[in-house]
Structures are given as C-alpha cells and as structure tokens.
Chain A
Amino acid sequence: MKQKNNGLASVQRAALGPYGVWALLFIVVPLIFVAYYAFTDNSFRFTTENMTRFFTARSANGTYTYLLIFWRSLKLAVISTIICLLMGYPVAYILSRASARTQKILITLIMIPMWMNFLIRTYAWMTILQDTGILNSLLRTLGLGPLHMIGTEGAVVVGMVYDYFPYMILPIYSVMAKMDLKLEEAARDLGCNSWGVLRRVIFPLSLPGVISGITMVLIPSISTFYISQKLGNGKFYLIGDAIEGQYVANNLHFAAAIAFILMVILLAGMALMQRYANRKAYV
C-alpha cells in the first residue's frame, strides 16, 4: 500500500519536469540576457558605462536625469498603491461579509472592466477628464466651475488606480473570505470595539492579501508607459517611458540597463516587504 502511494508521489513529482525546463529557459535565462545586455556595449564588449550613465547623467540645470525619473515613477506608483489600498480594503471587507450571491455578482462586476482593453479604458478616461470633458461639463452645471485635471499628476494617478484597482481587491478579498468569523465575535466578546477588531484581528489576518495586493498594484504602476503618455499630457516622463524611449531609439543596451536596475530595486524591495510581513504574521 505504502509502495503504491510512493509511486503516485514520484509520478506526480515528475509532472514538475516540463515546467522546470520551461521556467529555466523562459524565466531565468532571459533575465541573464537582461544583465548581459546591461553590462555590454553595442559590440557586446563588457562595459559599466550604461550603469554609470543611469546614476550620473545630469541635465543642464544639474538634476540627475534618470534618478529624477525613477523617483517620480516611484512617487506616483506609491500614491496610487496607497489610494488603491484605502479604497479597496473596505470593498474587500464588504464583499467578504456579503451573502454568497452578492459576493458572486460583485466579484463579476469588479472583474468586467479588466476584460475591456487597457488602452481603450485609458482613452475613455481622457474623454472624462479633459477640460471640456464629461466631468467638467457636470461640474459646470453644478456651478462648481471647471477644474483642470488632465495633464496633472492627479490624472496619471487616477489612470493607475483605475487600471490596477481590481488587483488590490481580489487578493485581500480571497484572504478575508477564508477568515473565521468566530475570531471577530470572540474579540468583540472580549471587549474590543470595532476599531480594535479591525486593528488587532482583521488587519493582521488579512496581511498576506494586503501584501500581494500592494505588489500587484505597485509593480505595474511603477513601470507603465501608456497611462503617463495619455493622461499626463505627455508631461510626466516615467521610468517605463524611458525604457520604451531607449528601445525605440535603438539603444537596446541602455534600455536593458534601466530595466536591470529597476528589476534589482524591485526584487530587493519585495524581499524586504516579504520579510517584514512574515515577522508581523508570526509575532
């Protein structure tokens, strides 16, 4: 009997084979190529020039070009992520406590916009946020005057929040849905008020969901290059724009260098966050 079961296990372990090969070929090796291009010049000779260029290139007025671009991308991405979290967390909570039927309907509704093409969705936001757009006509009829929105940092943030919002809700929701409701009751019985329940019970338990939500929003918003072009009126040049710009200008090696630096920073950041989260979860 034991024998049979071991047979099953090893057959099943073998099922990992194709994926292992695939992951090596198409996940690991390509990253080595990024590093290879980042540290070579056009004739594939070793150089660190691409790296130093990223950290030392300065514009006429003395600002560090790429560091500034990176800082700006990080800032907008972090703001968007925080807004997504603040807006999405209550949604996830409401969802997880609703009746099964409502849950299903709402989840579907939240997913639907993701099926509309991302470029088209962003385009539609242009129509809404323009000075002569839908939102401003509405504000004007209400006597709240026209607001200048398109081309501001705010508009870029709206675009990011909109496009990646579902990625924040879904992971938090799936953790909360599995939470044992009795824990909440117990905390209340022991004298916790609502805020206390949230802070001491619900939030710590939902932390894994929060972490993956943050990851899933922060990463795409830091590297986007379409939203900033369309909703930022081409005035917010982000790190994604820089990579794409270098690619189009046929500077593959420098594009790879920017990508490499971004990747290293993000991986390090994520590792730190994961560690922090693990400590939190067990203390």
Chain B
Amino acid sequence: MKPMAKFYTALIMLFLFAPIAILLVFSFNEAKSLSVFSGGSLYWYRELFRDAETLGAVRNTLILAFSASILSTIMGTAAAVGIHRLRSKAMRAAMDTVTNIPMINPDIITGISLMLMFVFVGRLFGAATSLNFWTMLIAHITFCLPYVILQVLPKLQQMDRSLPEAAMDLGCTPVRAFLKVEIPEIMPGIITGLIMAFTLSLDDFVISYFTAGNGFQTLPIRIYNMTKKTVTPKMYALSTIIFFTILALLIMTNLIDTGPGVERPAKDKPERPAARKKARRIALGIGTVLAVGMIAVMVIAAPKKPVLNVYNWGEYISDGSEDSFDTIKGFEEWYLENYGHEVEVNYTTFASNEDMYAKLSSGAVSYDVIVPSDYMIQRMKDEGMLLELNFDNIPNYQYIGESFRGMYYDPDELYTVPYTYNFVGIIWDAEQVDEEDIGDWDLMWNEKYAGDILQFNNSRDAFATAQYKLGLDVNSDNPQEWQAALGELKRQQPLVKSYVMDEVYNMMESGEAAICAYYAGDYFTMLDAAADSVDLQFYTPERTNYFVDAMCIPSCCQNKELAEIFINYMLEKEPAVANAEYICYGCPNSLVYEDEDYAEEMGEEAMEILYPDIERFGELYEAYAYRNLSTEMLDTINTLWEELKIN
C-alpha cells in the first residue's frame, strides 16, 4: 500500500473505532455514567453477570439469530438453486423483484407491514397473542432471505455447468452430484450468506420493535425501553464482551475464505482436494451449529411450568443489580416455598404508556400484570381492558396509605394497586445557574440560559410544563388552550438545547446542560453519577404533574389468581422496600415509607423531596394529575407536537 492509502485507511479506521473505544473505556467506569469517567473498575461486569433479565435478552437474541440465520440459509440456498435453473425469463424477473423488495424497503416498512398482517390475521382467528417468538422468527427469516440468495446465486452462476454433468457421466446420481459437486462449489457463498444473515438478525432493532410480542424480548428492544431511566455502563460492558468474543472468533477461524465474494475469478484452482476437505469441515461446522440452534429453539418452545407475564416500565424493578434484591427471583422462590410448585415469571419492559397501550390494544400480546400510569389506567378501564381484582388474594393492600386510595382513575378501588408515585420538578446546576434566578417554571424560559435548557421529548410532559407555567388546565379539551401552550413552547424553543428522555442523565451529570424538568426520583440517580464540577439542585414548582403508576390486570390475562398473588407479593416488605430504593420514586406502601432503615438508606434530602407532605398528596394530585383525553384531542396534540418538532 502507498503511504497515502495507508494514512487514509488509518483515518477511516479511527472513525470506525472511535465509538467502540469510548464504550470500551466507559465499560470500566466506576460511576453509573456514560459521560463522566470517575475511575476504573470491573463493577459493571460483575453487575452484568448478575442481571438475569439482560442475560435472558442476550440469550433470546442469540436463539433468534441462530434459528433465523440457519433457516434462512437453508431456504435461501434452495431458492437460489431453483432460481438458477429457471428457464422462463418472466418467472426469473418476478423472483428477482420479490427478492429485492425487503432490501429496497426500509426496515420500518417491513416491520410495520408484517405487524399489520400478524395482528389482522391473529384477530381473525381470535388468537390470544398474535405476536410472539414465532412471528419474530418469521420476520427475521424474511429479511435475511434476500441476502442469502444474493450471496449464493452468483456462486452458482460462476460454477461450470459441466461439472455436475461430468459427475453424473461418471455414475453419480443427480442428488449425489448436487451434494458432492455443486454444494462444495457454492459453499463460500452459503457461508457468507449465513454470516450476513446472523449479523443482520443480531443487530436488528426496527423490525423486532414492531413484531416483538409476548415475553420474548431481544437485547436491542431492552436497550430501547430504557428510555425513561438511564442506559447503564452495564450495556457497554456487554458490548465490550461481545467485541472481544467476535475478535477472538474471527482470529480463530481465520475467517478468510468466508469473506464476502472476494476472490478473483481464478480459472485454475489448483488444490481441489484441499478445498473439498475444507468444505466438508465447514459443512460439519454448520451442521453442529444447526443442531445446537434447533435444540435451543426446542428448549424455548417446550411446554413449561406456569408462566406469569409481567409488563413493566424499563428499569422499574429491583433486579439484583448493584447488590440489590432480585424481585423476580425472590417471587419465584417465595412461590415455590408457599405453594409447593414452580412458577416462571416472564418479565418484559415498555418505553411509554402509549407504547404499552399500542401493543395491548392491538390484541397482539397477552400479559398478566401491567403497570400503567393513572391517565392510561382511566383510558384502559373505560375501554374495558382491565379486570376487577379479587382483593382476597391481595391482603397486603391494607398497607397502601390512605392518601393513595380511591384516586380519580379508580374511585371504588376495584382495579388497581398503586406501585409508585412521583412528580415533575426542576433540576438545576448551581455551578451554572444563579440562585436568584430559580423559582417556578420561569427558569425553563430564562433567556440567560439559552442553549442550556432541556425539555421533555414526549408531548404530554412537554405541553404540561407550558400549561402549568401559564396556569392552564393540563386536561383541557379546548384546542385553543393547547394552541396557547404550543405558542409558549415555540417561544422556549430557541433556548432549548435538546428534547430529551433518557439522555437527560448524561447531559445533567456532565454539566452539558444546566436546567431540566424531570421526575423527582431520577434527580437522585443523577446526583450519584454527577461529575465533581457539577452541583445539582432540585426544586418543585407550585403547579406540577403528580402521577401514580399502578399494578393492574389486563383483560387478556391468562392466569388471574397467579397475577394477584404476584401483586400481593410486590407489597411485601422486602420486595417493596427494595423496589422503592431501586426506583427512587415515592412509594405508596406504608410498610416502606414508615420504615426507618429505608429512610436512612434514602437519606434526609431524598425523604424530604419524595415525601414532603403525604397528607396533602391527594389534594395536589386531584388538582394537577393528567386525565385521559379523548381520541380527537390526542390526535390534535400529536399534530401540535409535530408542528413544534418540525420548526
């Protein structure tokens, strides 16, 4: 290589590996931050191996990638062989077009189109769940197929047609000629196709996002659903491990002859026996992988012990990380002890109320326990999507504080058991913001801090900040009032650095931004990881959003009693305290907020902010909580939001 070429290649490599280097470094971070490095440690690696949910997601991702790539390679190779033999030009053109569609169509369209079909067909047949592992597998096979075909087909075309004929002249049966002559000839294409299919399936997020269903969550979806809470360095640790595994694998297999369509059309391949031996070895390897993959599929498809499907917000349960209590495992053990047989909890997460509602209302999934927020509970209740609870199975309900009972969304206490409550406050960095400027919502509109202010990247919360500021009703059904709020948000827009959800953590922790509105409990998560150069403070505006997230049982529930037992368990002291400490939001369970150890663990500041005046909570909540809005109103808000975002 010439020096210029060398230099250029080095620059490109720098570009390609800069982010990888970042995640390598931050995976060794001591603090829970992806932007402030505070010292090396292996902490997150230990955490990773304790995180059963993430490891489960990794397992699911691998199972899916193995099955999808193997099946699509088999079917794709067969298809390529068939296409190669097609005589009709029209047929050939038709096949080419169809094969090209998934490649030319954006992922988002492939995902949506499959989702629409699965949901529609599922509804037609009255299936309880129309999206599950199998639909995801179908989706993955579908988008991998063209890549396999396009790798194998050229190899067939390059092959000398007289080869199989010669074999048959020498007494081979057609099948034998195919297996012994053609297959080894096209093997490099098959292997490249397999590797490509595996890579694509492993990395796919968009198509999985739309076709994911019950309890089968892959890694990309799990990461995406962390959007309300923070993405932890644990994920970087995982990526680092993946990186080195792949590196090791590639070096080991020498990877070489599997490189995509590399070799020049050399007419004279001298070492035929060696090539054949290699082909045999590779075939053997593929066979092994295939067997392992099939067994894995059978394992997950095999009938199992009773399963409880729980659908909760991302990062919204104490999961054994950072030396916390593992609630899910705790429940499984507790159940075995008390009921004498095993149970399995299938725990999956969602990114927003709307995301959860979209999945449930399509009838595509079936869950036993869900944790929506108040206004969404009202909507689901009105639409008959919730079941009444049998409180005989939930005796621990007695510990729920008086102020959290009979809320507007469930006045007769029939459907819900509150899980957490919290409110929106303003977090500001005392190093960047003058103390005299703080006070109510005006700080978020203060021109002095132009470019340092963060606003919510979800319509309801963002509009609410403007509505509270203007003294408007956040539940108004008057479009003009929403227009006024939009005007206020537009006025704020030039000052806004970024519209954020989970990015808020990095930006506040590193001093990248100075002011944000976010959920009170999350302030403490930021405090823990903040850089030394940052001095984060918190205050609660007079009018602000108070919310409750509550456990409910949706009408698609398959095992109601088990769901109620689970809800009851969540109110037991040990898991409840662990969850409250993990989530950092306020807890409506008196076993928790009256507990001295809990108060000590949280610290004085946290207790003051989270439980300022529990008696008054009902009043504030009644005044400022979100209510469900009509579909037309939601559509209007969505349109107004788009108007803000396109400016």
A contact residues vs B (CB 8 Å cutoff): 1, 4-5, 7-20, 22-24, 26-31, 33-34, 36-37, 57, 59-60, 63, 65, 68-69, 72, 87, 90-91, 94, 98, 102-104, 106-121, 123-128, 130-134, 150-151, 162, 165, 170, 174, 177-178, 215-216, 219-220, 222-223, 225-226, 229-230, 233-235, 237, 240-252, 255-256, 259, 262-263, 266-267, 270
Tell whether, in the assembled complex, residue B22 and residue A33 are in contact, meaning their CB atoms are under 8 Å apart: no
A106 to B236: give the CA distance in the assembly, Å.
24
Partner of B220, one of A29, A110, A118: A118
Tell whether, in the assembled complex, residue A244 and residue B108 are in contact, meaning their CB atoms are under 8 Å apart: yes
User: From DSSP, what is the main secondary structure of chain B's interface residues?
Assistant: helix
The residues of B that contact A247 with a CB separation of less than 8 Å are 112, 210, 358
Interchain residue pairs A-B with the least CB separation, the first 5? A16-B82, A234-B499, A233-B498, A223-B106, A19-B79
Tell whether, in the assembled complex, residue B223 and residue A15 are in contact, meaning their CB atoms are under 8 Å apart: no
The residues of A that contact B206 with a CB separation of less than 8 Å are 225
* Complex: chain A residue closest to B110, CB-CB: A30
Known contacts: A116-B243, A234-B457, A266-B105. The answer to whether A16 contacts B168 by CB under 8 A is no
Q: Is B384 an interface residue (CB 8 A)?
A: no
Tell whether, in the assembled complex, residue B500 and residue A243 are in contact, meaning their CB atoms are under 8 Å apart: no
Nearest CB of B to A244, in Å: 7
Nearest CB of B to A173, in Å: 8
The residues of A that contact B210 with a CB separation of less than 8 Å are 247
Partner of B646, one of A69, A108, A270: A69
A–B pairs, 6, beta carbons within 8 Å: A13-B85, A34-B112, A91-B12, A223-B109, A240-B106, A262-B106
The residues of B that contact A9 with a CB separation of less than 8 Å are 85
Tell whether, in the assembled complex, residue A233 and residue B499 are in contact, meaning their CB atoms are under 8 Å apart: yes
Tell whether, in the assembled complex, residue A60 and residue B643 are in contact, meaning their CB atoms are under 8 Å apart: yes
Tell whether, in the assembled complex, residue A235 and residue B645 are in contact, meaning their CB atoms are under 8 Å apart: yes
* B1-40, CB < 8 A from A: 1, 5, 8-9, 12-13, 15-20, 22-23, 26, 34-35
Tell whether, in the assembled complex, residue B358 and residue A132 are in contact, meaning their CB atoms are under 8 Å apart: no
Tell whether, in the assembled complex, residue A220 and residue B75 are in contact, meaning their CB atoms are under 8 Å apart: no
The residues of B that contact A33 with a CB separation of less than 8 Å are 113, 116-117, 120
A90 to B5: give the CA distance in the assembly, Å.
8
A127 to B34: give the CA distance in the assembly, Å.
7
A19 to B95: give the CA distance in the assembly, Å.
10
Q: Is B260 an interface residue (CB 8 A)?
A: yes
* B104-130, CB < 8 A from A: 104-110, 112-114, 116-117, 120
* B483-532, CB < 8 A from A: 483, 486, 496-500, 503, 506-507, 510-512
Tell whether, in the assembled complex, residue A119 and residue B220 are in contact, meaning their CB atoms are under 8 Å apart: yes
Known contacts: A174-B260, A251-B635. The answer to whether A26 contacts B223 by CB under 8 A is no
Q: Is B242 an interface residue (CB 8 A)?
A: yes
* B226-256, CB < 8 A from A: 231, 235-236, 239, 242-243, 246-247, 250, 255-256
Tell whether, in the assembled complex, residue A26 and residue B142 are in contact, meaning their CB atoms are under 8 Å apart: yes
Tell whether, in the assembled complex, residue A132 and residue B82 are in contact, meaning their CB atoms are under 8 Å apart: no
Tell whether, in the assembled complex, residue A31 and residue B261 are in contact, meaning their CB atoms are under 8 Å apart: no
Tell whether, in the assembled complex, residue B78 and residue A222 are in contact, meaning their CB atoms are under 8 Å apart: no
Q: B197-205, B281-289, B469-477: which lies at the A interface?
A: B197-205
The residues of B that contact A127 with a CB separation of less than 8 Å are 22, 26, 34-35, 506
The residues of B that contact A248 with a CB separation of less than 8 Å are 352, 354-355, 358
Known contacts: A107-B262, A174-B261, A248-B355. The answer to whether A118 contacts B203 by CB under 8 A is yes
B contact residues vs A (CB 8 Å cutoff): 1, 5, 8-9, 12-13, 15-20, 22-23, 26, 34-35, 75-76, 78-79, 81-86, 95, 98-99, 101-110, 112-114, 116-117, 120, 138-139, 141-142, 145, 149, 164-165, 168-169, 174-175, 177-178, 199, 202-203, 205-206, 210, 219-220, 223-224, 231, 235-236, 239, 242-243, 246-247, 250, 255-256, 259-265, 352, 354-355, 357-358, 361-362, 457, 483, 486, 496-500, 503, 506-507, 510-512, 634-635, 638-639, 641-643, 645-646
Nearest CB of A to B17, in Å: 7
Nearest CB of A to B63, in Å: 17
* Complex: chain A residue closest to B138, CB-CB: A26
Partner of A113, one of B20, B83, B98, B498: B20
Nearest CB of B to A70, in Å: 11
* Complex: chain B residue closest to A175, CB-CB: B261
A216 to B494: give the CA distance in the assembly, Å.
35
* Complex: chain B residue closest to A243, CB-CB: B108
* Complex: chain B residue closest to A5, CB-CB: B165
Partner of A27, one of B1, B8, B102, B224: B102
A39 to B22: give the CA distance in the assembly, Å.
47
Nearest CB of B to A130, in Å: 5
Tell whether, in the assembled complex, residue B104 and residue A266 are in contact, meaning their CB atoms are under 8 Å apart: yes
A11 to B83: give the CA distance in the assembly, Å.
12
Nearest CB of A to B130, in Å: 13
The residues of B that contact A132 with a CB separation of less than 8 Å are 35, 510-512
A20 to B34: give the CA distance in the assembly, Å.
47
